[in-house]
């Protein structure tokens, strides 16, 4: 059992709390039983599995499955587990997995495109919502928060492993390519004349949303085929971007369901 916080493995895993270290080591953290189950459901290989004896006793079948997919398995003390986790009260298991680059999602129906989203909780919530609404995937500008930030994974509630996702260094060019393939780009802007339910979202559509504070850049907003707004009562400045994304995604889903009736 690993009990020392000075153990080299413990030090290495603790460094993964930082964005810089996740990028340098090309690893990220998987914390908690729920996220581990989600990873194992898609047979995602684990680099290291660290767990307490209490967790192993509580989840023997999950432990057996995780062992089969892990390169290294370590029994650790409760103090070590708390040290390597980013949560205040971890439930007994932390794993590391490899960062992998993924191609842009194969958008054919509808998807979500995000520019310069900074809050990990917002991104994780939008991943969860996009998966729930049946979106094809999510495309994110490279200057946004990392997909593998611990709070992003937790907020995604396990859907992180279900939704195709990729980061792009040139959203404008990629969106132009999708337009050439027949997809409409619908941007959300507070100054738009159309409300979001007035646009036909039954056709292949990419929903484009911007930064929490500044919204969309003028360059991206300008290439949109349609610009829509979410109406707000007087005195309300804006909606949280994750809430706005949920409205847009479920309006697209609603219109598709209506057209199938």
Q: Is 1 contained in some domain?
A: no
Q: Is residue 138 predicted with pLDDT exceeding 80?
A: yes
- 213 and 255 part of one domain: yes
Q: Mean of the pLDDT values across residues 153-158?
A: 92
- 78 and 199 part of one domain: no
Q: DSSP states of 187-224 as a string? A: EE-TT-SEEGGGS--SSSEEEEE-BTTTBS-HHHHHH-
Q: Is 103 contained in some domain?
A: no
- 189 and 226 part of one domain: yes
What is the model's pLDDT at position 251?
97
Q: Is residue 80 predicted with pLDDT exceeding 80?
A: yes
Q: Is 2 contained in some domain?
A: no
pLDDT digits (tens, 9 = 90+) for 29-42: 999 999 999 999 99
Indicate the range of 2-11, 65-74, 103-112 predicted with least confidence: 103-112
Q: Over the chain, what is the mean pLDDT?
A: 94
Report whether 138 contacts 126 (CB < 8 A): yes
Q: Is 45 contained in some domain?
A: yes
Helix then strand then coil, in percent of the chain rounded to 5, is 40, 20, 35
- 14 and 37 part of one domain: yes
**End residue of a domain, out of 53, 76, 98:** 98
Which domain does 248 fall in, by range? Answer: 110-260
Q: Is residue 88 predicted with pLDDT exceeding 90?
A: no
Query: pLDDT > 70: what percent of the chain?
Result: 100
Q: Is residue 261 predicted with pLDDT exceeding 70?
A: no
pLDDT digits (tens, 9 = 90+) for 166-188: 999 999 999 999 999 999 999 99
Domain harbouring 93, CATH code: 3.30.1330.30
- 15 and 91 part of one domain: yes
Q: What is the Cα–Cα distance from 23 to 34, expressed in whole angstroms?
A: 24
- 84 and 128 part of one domain: no
- 143 and 236 part of one domain: yes
- 222 and 185 part of one domain: yes
Q: Is residue 114 predicted with pLDDT exceeding 90?
A: yes
Report whether 62 contacts 7 (CB < 8 A): no
What is the model's pLDDT at position 8?
97
**End residue of a domain, out of 49, 70, 98:** 98
- 72 and 125 part of one domain: no
Residue 101: pLDDT band with limits 50, 70, 90: confident
What is the model's pLDDT at position 225?
96
């Amino acid at each position: 059992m690993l009990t020392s916080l000075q153990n080299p493995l413990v030090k290495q895993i603790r460094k993964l709390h930082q964005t810089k270290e996740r990028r340098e080591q090309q690893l990220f953290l998987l914390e908690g039983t729920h996220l581990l189950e989600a990873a194992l459901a898609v047979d995602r290989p684990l680099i290291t599995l660290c767990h307490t004896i209490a967790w192993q006793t509580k989840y023997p079948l999950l432990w057996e499955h995780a062992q089969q997919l892990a390169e290294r398995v370590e029994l650790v003390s409760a103090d070590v587990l708390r040290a390597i986790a980013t949560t205040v009260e971890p439930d007994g298991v932390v794993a590391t997995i490899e960062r992998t680059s993924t191609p842009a999602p194969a958008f054919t129906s509808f998807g979500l495109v995000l520019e310069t989203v900074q809050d990990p909780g917002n991104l994780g919530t939008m991943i969860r919502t996009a998966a729930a609404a049946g979106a094809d995937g999510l495309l994110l500008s490279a200057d946004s928060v990392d997909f593998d930030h611990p709070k992003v994974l937790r907020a995604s509630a396990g859907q992180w492993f279900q939704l195709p996702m990729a980061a792009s260094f040139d959203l404008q060019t990629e969106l132009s390519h999708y337009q050439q393939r027949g997809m409409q780009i619908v941007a959300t802007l507070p100054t738009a004349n159309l409300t979001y339910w007035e646009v036909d979202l039954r056709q292949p559509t990419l929903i484009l949303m911007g930064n929490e504070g500044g919204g969309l850049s003028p360059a991206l907003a300008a290439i949109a085929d349609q610009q829509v707004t979410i109406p707000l009562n007087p005195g309300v400045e804006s909606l949280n971007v994750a809430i706005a994304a949920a409205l847009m995604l479920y309006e697209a889903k609603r219109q598709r369901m209506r057209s199938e009736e």
